[in-house]
Amino acid sequence: MAEYRTHMKIIGDILSTTRDDLQDEDGATVTYLIRKANISHSRISRILKTLVSQGLLEQVDTQGSNKYRISPTGREFLQAYNTFTNFADNFGLNI
């Protein structure tokens, strides 16, 4: 049976991708993030809009296309998220 990811897991995946897997220093394209996060364009568009408005991602306009990179606040959030999920995993909690 397939295991579904939570909304927080998807956000963690997007932030990790923009931190670790950048195609270049300008950021990751929406298409790249769709492939890495394995979710639809409409869903990732809503998530990216929220992450930008909350200050976790920065939206960069390069040559007429938007790219996304993690902000300093996003790095702090991702570190706290990873710490929490590692703690939960140690106790067998499925978050």
In tens digits, what is the pLDDT along the chain, a chain of 95 residues?
Answer: 456 888 999 999 999 999 987 767 788 999 999 998 889 999 999 999 999 999 999 999 888 889 999 999 999 999 999 999 988 887 777 66
Residues 6+ apart with CB under 8 A from 28: 17, 18, 21, 22, 36, 67, 68, 69
Domain annotation covers residue 70? yes
Give the CB-side neighbour count of residue 76, counting CA atoms within 13 A: 6
Model pLDDT, residue 14: 95
State the CATH number of the domain containing residue 72: 1.10.10.10
Model pLDDT, residue 21: 76
Q: Show the domain range for 62.
A: 7-88
pTM above 0.95, yes or no: no
Model pLDDT, residue 37: 87
End-to-end CA distance of the chain: 17
Nearest to 29 by CA among 48, 42, 55: 48
Residues 6+ apart with CB under 8 A from 82: 12
Q: Report yes or no: 12 and 81 within 8 Å, Cβ to Cβ.
A: yes
Domain annotation covers residue 95? no
Number of domains into which the chain is organized: 1
Model pLDDT, residue 92: 73
Domain annotation covers residue 93? no
